[in-house]
Chains A and B, each alone.
Chain A
Amino acid sequence: MYMSDIANAFDHGKAFIAFVTAGDPCFEKTVEFVLKMVEAGADLIELGVPFSDPIADGPVIQAANLRAFADGTTTDRVFEMVEEIRKHTDVPLVLLTYLNPVYKYGYEAFMRRGADVGLDGLIVPDLPIEEKAEVGDVAKRYGIDVISLIAPTSNERVKAIASDASGFLYVVSSMGVTGVRSEIETDLGGVMKTIRAVSDVPTAIGFGISTPEQAKQMAQYADGVIVGSAIVKIIARYGEGATPYLVEYVENMKDALR
């Protein structure tokens, strides 16, 4: 069995995980944004595969999906972006995708292509552990981790999810969909304790984190923090000229985590 490189992301202190939607606003800029964010200190990259009906995402990511579609982004184009990024960096890289684009591509074909271009993992928001096997068994053969999510409502499910985890565990900080929040109220300490009792897989907290203060606060509980909507908002605002703003943002966030 192959191992993915995801563990490397958690090797140098608390990890900063950056999300961008693939193809927002275009192929070349996505590649540039990713490479510059890695230089600025991002430890792991989540590349969002645009989907017509992103039920777990708020308006910020929904709008990014539309921009990506406008540029003609397809599943194959996303793989090409990963291939291009891989020419310049070995940063751990995962795709965030709803299940249907993977199902339609064919699990076997998707994982084979993913492994070819150097993909390390997949986050599938509409794939709870009950349904994980049909994707996870194929992914495992290609050395791709299917990353599980833990929600504030998971309660007694935490143990089962954590026992089965690979890559890292994505801990959802609050109820609802992705998006920037002013306060995060979940009992993260308790959740982490349950996870640690059964697994030593790294943990990262996401949903609603945007400021260095929030990142620092969340990093007390986890091995890393995930930021999506705040980054996508910068891209929405500055478009093709977003690079210097993204670099500054990532540097500040990474500093807060040191």
Chain B
Amino acid sequence: MSKGRYGVHGGQYIPETLMNEVTRLEKEYDYYKNDPAFNEELDRLLNEYAGRPSLLYYAAKMTEDLGGAKVYLKREDLNHTGSHKINNVLGQCLLAKKMGKTRIVAETGAGQHGVATATAAALMGMECEIFMGKEDTVRQALNVYRMELLGAKVNAVTSGTMTLKDAVNECMQEWTRRVDDTHYCLGSVMGPHPFPMIVRDFQSVISKEARAQILELEGKLPSAVVACVGGGSNAIGAFYNFISDENVELIGCEAAGRGVDTDEHAATIARGSQGVFHGMKSYFCQNEDGQIAPVYSISAGLDYPGIGPEHANLHDLGRAHYVPITDDEAVEAFEYLARTEGIICAIESAHAVAHVKRIAPHRDKSDIIIICLSGRGDKDVAAIARYRGVDVHE
């Protein structure tokens, strides 16, 4: 069996054309991750440019209102560009630059990873092209313009379902055409090895900080860490440094869209089955013939038919649990957090808030739950208004 395995999941199921490039990427990453100069430069970018460490905020009003466990919010929404995506992007773009690449391509769903990539590329003086499903360019028109402001070219993808998975397809194709000068800055813990490892390492700063912060604030570990899961990058980042703390429950919240019993969801663990797609073995929403299913969520960032291989393994092992959250529940949580804590979070992150609303009242007051608030919700305001029947246009 090849490298990059998480239990039976992971691997390198990609065209031969890309094999030498991913092997090279792995070698270069192995070198630079131990290079003090690289780490110093990355730390400086994370702290002075992205605004790390992010706050671990005690949500007192939410805690009081729910009447159970103490709720903390890991504020990735306060990072530069408004989400956790910047953690990975600064790492990968810096690595690409060290590898001599001059051009970055990336897929994006909600636009958060695209905006973060365009930002890092502008900062580092690299050419940047973003691939985004046409459907998503409509849902997130403002983010398209934002990326263009940052100097990136945005390609609207019209193949397949015109969403995130199709953007990944086109991005892989574009990378295949130009591996010489181009790095594919994959935005989640998915794809062929070494991407799930690289992205996880760069995102694990979330749990590294959160673990130290909660020990400092409360003198003990949380009883649960909750994060939303599409491909799973903010979730693995929030889980990683707690995996060996066996008493810390890890909960991923998948997009159930209009419900797991309908055809309109993106609940990979609840409704998917094992398969091989986008370079990895994992769980996917697919039909009995192995055709990848069209998925749906109000959240463009969770609208993906698969899940990263490390999550698939954590699920197999029972170390993490994955729960489906519907559009309705997510929108309600989005509004709840705005009114209760004065925080407008991303509709993706609202999936995690929704689950905590459900479980916190039943937990002991001495319990602590950390929610990874992966992004801010400015981008979602118009869509939520429309969801509520208010005709707001950006």
Contact = CB atoms under 8 A, between A and B. Distances in A.
B134 to A, nearest CB: 15
Given A52-B160, A53-B165, A154-B16, A126 B289 contact: no
B12 A103 contact: no
Interface stretch (A17-25, A88-96, A144-152, A229-237): A144-152
B191 to A, nearest CB: 11
B391 to A, nearest CB: 35
Nearest to B273: A104
Contact of A55 (B3, B19, B173, B178): B173
Given A53-B160, A74-B289, A103-B276, A175 B13 contact: no
B290 A53 contact: no
Given A51-B291, A175-B176, A104 B275 contact: yes
B5 to A, nearest CB: 11
A52 B177 contact: no
A161 B16 CA distance: 10
Name, among B12, B176, B276, B286, the residue most crowded by chain A CB atoms within 10 Å (CB to CB).
B276
A167 to B, nearest CB: 16
Contacts of A136: none
A11 interface: no
A52 B291 contact: yes
A104 B289 contact: yes
Interface stretch (A30-38, A127-135, A190-198, A240-248): A127-135
Contacts of A103: 274-276, 290
B247 interface: no
A128 B173 contact: no
Given A52-B291, A104-B289, A175 B17 contact: yes
B19 A131 contact: no
A188 interface: no
B105 to A, nearest CB: 13
A110 to B, nearest CB: 10
B2 interface: yes
B107 to A, nearest CB: 12
A150 to B, nearest CB: 7
Nearest to B166: A53
A126 to B, nearest CB: 5
Nearest to A133: B1
Nearest to A56: B15
A155 interface: yes
A99 interface: yes
Contacts, number: 113
A49 to B, nearest CB: 9
A74 B380 CA distance: 39
Contact of B177 (A149, A154, A172, A175): A175
A51 to B, nearest CB: 7
Give the interface size class of chain B: 35 or more
B2 A130 contact: yes
B298 to A, nearest CB: 23
A176 B176 CA distance: 5
Interface string A149-168: 11111110100010000000
A126 B291 contact: no
Contacts of A134: 1
Contacts of B73: none
B177 A100 contact: no
Interface in A76-107: 99-105
A55 B172 contact: yes
B380 to A, nearest CB: 27
A75 B14 contact: no
A125 interface: yes
Interface string B131-152: 0000000000000000000000
Contacts of A175: 17, 176-179
A161 B20 CA distance: 13
Interface string B228-264: 0000000000000000000000000000000000000
Nearest to B179: A153
Nearest to A170: B16
Interface in B264-305: 273-279, 284, 286, 288-292
Contacts of B21: 153
A128 B178 CA distance: 19
A126 B14 contact: yes
Given A151-B15, A153-B179, A175-B176, A99 B276 contact: yes
A155 B166 CA distance: 30
A151 B16 contact: yes
Contact of A152 (B3, B17, B286, B292): B17
B290 A105 contact: yes
Contacts of A155: 20
Given A75-B290, A100-B275, A104-B286, A131 B12 contact: yes
B47 interface: no
A100 B14 contact: no
A133 to B, nearest CB: 8
Given A55-B172, A177-B176, A157 B19 contact: yes
Nearest to B294: A52
A126 B192 CA distance: 11
22 contacts: A53-B277, A56-B15, A56-B173, A100-B275, A100-B276, A102-B290, A104-B273, A104-B286, A105-B290, A125-B15, A126-B276, A126-B279, A130-B12, A130-B19, A148-B16, A152-B17, A153-B18, A153-B21, A161-B16, A172-B16, A176-B173, A177-B177
Interface of A: 51-53, 55-56, 59, 62, 69, 74-75, 99-105, 125-128, 130-131, 133-134, 148-155, 157, 161, 172, 175-177
Given A103-B276, A125-B15, A151-B17, 18 more contacts: A52-B291, A52-B292, A55-B15, A56-B173, A62-B159, A99-B276, A100-B284, A100-B292, A105-B290, A128-B15, A130-B11, A131-B12, A131-B13, A154-B19, A157-B16, A161-B16, A175-B178, A176-B177
